A and B are shown apart, each in its own frame.
Chain A
Amino acid sequence: MENIVEIRDIVIEYKLKKYALRAVDGVSLDIAAGKITALVGESGSGKTTVASSLLNCISSPGEIVSGTVRRHTGPNEVTEVEKLGENALNEFRWKQISMVFQGAQSALNPVVTIFNQFYETMVVHENYKPKSERKKITKQEAEQRIRYLLDFVNLDADRVMTSYPHELSGGMKQRVMIAFSLLLDPKLIILDEPTTALDVITQDFIFKLLQKVNREMGIAMLLLTHDISVVAKYADYMAVMYGGRLMEYGTVEEVFEHKYHPYTRGLIDSTPAINKDVGLLRPIGGEPPDLLNMPAGCKFHPRCPQCKEICKQSEPKTVTMETGHRVKCFLYEDEA
């Protein structure tokens, strides 16, 4: 399988005045080309921080302390984004990887029409290119592209292009954002909680659209979400995060079938489902970890029903199973 991004042992800290908050610790993750990979975990587990590292746009005062992020930008071509200059980085953003931030609908400029927001972005991005490669983009050229993209996300292009953001519903704005992220033909789109605040019917519609973008344009996606049911329905691969660590990674089918990691198991088994008749489900006990006061050993051990003595003392390494499935838990260390 071909990867579009490989993250290796990345450690990210927010350098606050009095201390450094380690939000991500030793995460390694492959993002498969042309597939939908979900990064799932509850709020504060480090999803947005990991994803931001792909674009070198971790919010201040965050810094990559160690580790690498390698993007395969072409056949046998690898870009290490940390080393890009500012213009090259800006060109890389959107063209290679674009990100739809959480609540991005509200980031649309309220006083500019949708057409002009798209057009300005196209013009600005030309300027990031080396002088010799810059082209003048006419409004006609831009319109053709914008129309195509708005059509692709099932929006009425004539109406939407001339609209201001407040004239559109939440679901329409989210579709505008998806069209926007496609503007410069990226290889990977990062979607941070793309459907929070939308109702389930709109959510399903947005995800079917994303699947269409994924399949018909071959664009890979990294989907950040806290909702394990959304992952089951729409993703190909999944990575489960907990307290800044990546606890389990595999295909969605395998993870749901085996639920190797006790946290994954707890999460899946404690999620109510409308297709099953069950009595009481068993919750995960305890509280989510406090990044400033992390337990020793496995970060999940205080809540883990299968905790052993060693789990309290040292942190497990990540074990890779035969199928490529990866788990960070002592229960599987013999299987390496």
Chain B
Amino acid sequence: MAKIIELDKIGMSFEKKVGLLQPNKRIDVLRDINLDIAEGQIVAVVGESGCGKTTIGKIITGLMKPTEGELRFGGKNLYGFSLNVFSRTREQVQFVQQDSYAALNPVLTIRQSLSAPISHHYKNYSAADTEKKINEIMSFVGLTPPEQFLSKYPHMLSGGQRQRILMARAISLEPKLIVADEPVSMIDVSMRLSILNLMNKLNEMLGISFVYITHDLATAKYIARNGNICVMYLGEIVEFGSVEAVLRSPKHPYTQALIAAVPVPDPKAAKQGRDIPIKSMEITSLENRSKGCVFYDRCPYAEEKCRNKIEDTLVDGVRVKCCKIGELPEWTN
């Protein structure tokens, strides 16, 4: 499978004001991020709030320029492109954000919100062509009949319907990849599965790749069941591999703790859950994390060598950032 996007040793840091007279402090929000996304693939990016998921999403979609490393699109450095090529390339990677209400202009009707990018992109389209395209994509995302929605304003729709509109807008430019940032966390529980199924449908029928960003491991497993998962902690990818392999036998102590903590919708299984292997409940801040392993302060297996820079280890096709692989207890789910 051809790679669409490669993140090569990407890092991102922000200036943080400390005080009037002190120099600003640089905070590394992302460190050493390596990630490939192939054509037609679904990659889930999982981690708790603040670990850097949205920042990765913005980097992939070209909304934010990384401070370190190289972002390659079709094998070429995205930031080496001319402005023209850059913006055309960016259209092939769409971002669907968490807050569907904030993502849509409240004073525009749905038709207006959808037609603007279409007529901008397809310069030779007549008004009738644009309308035809709008009807097509609306039906595709399950908003039928389209007339029922097109003249409405965003606030007149439910969260689930607005999320479908965002999907429709994202596919209107026939992108190769959609980055969906927590697309179901703000909508009613009974509507979530149908949005996940819609993403699976767009993936299967249109061949669009997805980066699904979430804090919810269960939906990550569901949507990327044939794809990859990338587990993040404090700005680093601690484990990366196929969903199947990572969830069956998680290798990184953080992934193990995370999986042990996730409740399952089955009382018998849930109540037999194992104890969470973790040393401390307090989450370290980005500023105070160890120079070595990001999980050092909370890891039950930590020892002195974990404070040095950790290299990736490849085990059974899974990439793990832990220096004690092979010395840790076996873990299978």
Contacts and interface: CB of A to CB of B under 8 A. Distances in A.
Interface stretch (B126-134, B167-175, B184-192, B315-323): B184-192
A232 B271 CA distance: 8
Interface stretch (A20-28, A49-57, A199-207): A199-207
B44 to A, nearest CB: 12
A284 B190 contact: yes
A270 B281 contact: no
Contacts of A271: 189, 193, 218, 265
A203 B261 contact: yes
Given A199-B49, A284-B190, A232 B218 contact: no
The A interface, classified by DSSP as helix, strand, loop or mixed, is loop
B215 A229 contact: no
Contact of A275 (B197, B261, B264, B282): B264
Contacts of A106: none
Given A272-B219, A280-B197, A233 B263 contact: yes
A270 B267 contact: no
A142 interface: no
B190 A229 contact: no
B94 interface: no
Contact of B247 (A172, A268, A274, A282): A274
Interface string B45-69: 0001100000000000000000000
A256 B271 CA distance: 13
Contacts of A283: 190-191, 193-194, 197
Nearest to B190: A284
B333 interface: yes
Given A200-B48, A200-B261, A274-B247, A169 B270 contact: no
Contacts of B259: 274
Interface in A190-243: 197, 199-205, 226-230, 232-234
B190 A228 contact: no
A336 interface: no
A43, A172, A202, A273 interface centre (most CB from chain B within 10 Å)? A273
A204 B267 contact: no
Nearest to A252: B267
Contacts of B197: 280-281, 283
Given A233-B273, A271-B218, A272-B221, A201 B278 contact: yes
Nearest to B254: A201
Nearest to A43: B188
B231 to A, nearest CB: 12
B276 A204 contact: yes
Contacts of A280: 197, 200
Contact of A267 (B189, B217, B225): B189
A3 to B, nearest CB: 22
Nearest to A206: B281
A277 B282 CA distance: 33
A89 to B, nearest CB: 34
A268, A279, A288 interface centre (most CB from chain B within 10 Å)? A288
A253 interface: yes
A302 to B, nearest CB: 12
A34 interface: no
Contact of A274 (B48, B221, B283): B221
B262 interface: yes
A171 interface: yes
Contacts of B261: 200-201, 203-204
Contacts of B267: 232-233, 252-253, 256
Contacts of B188: 42-44, 226, 288
B270 A232 contact: yes
B35 interface: no
A266 interface: yes
A208 to B, nearest CB: 9
A169 B263 contact: no
B34 to A, nearest CB: 24
B159 to A, nearest CB: 9
A287 interface: yes
Interface string B212-244: 000101110110010000000000000000000
Interface in A30-88: 42-44
27 contacts: A169-B282, A171-B281, A171-B282, A197-B49, A200-B215, A200-B262, A200-B263, A201-B48, A201-B261, A201-B276, A201-B281, A204-B263, A228-B189, A229-B218, A229-B264, A229-B265, A233-B264, A267-B190, A272-B219, A274-B218, A274-B247, A275-B269, A280-B200, A283-B194, A284-B190, A284-B193, A288-B190
Interface of B: 48-49, 158, 160-161, 188-194, 196-197, 200, 215, 217-219, 221-222, 225, 247, 257-271, 273, 276, 278, 281-283, 333
Given A230-B263, A253-B268, A270-B190, 12 more contacts: A42-B188, A202-B281, A202-B283, A229-B270, A232-B270, A233-B263, A233-B264, A233-B271, A271-B189, A274-B221, A281-B197, A287-B160
Which 7 A/B pairs are nearest by Cβ-Cβ distance? A199-B48, A272-B222, A233-B270, A283-B193, A233-B263, A283-B194, A229-B263
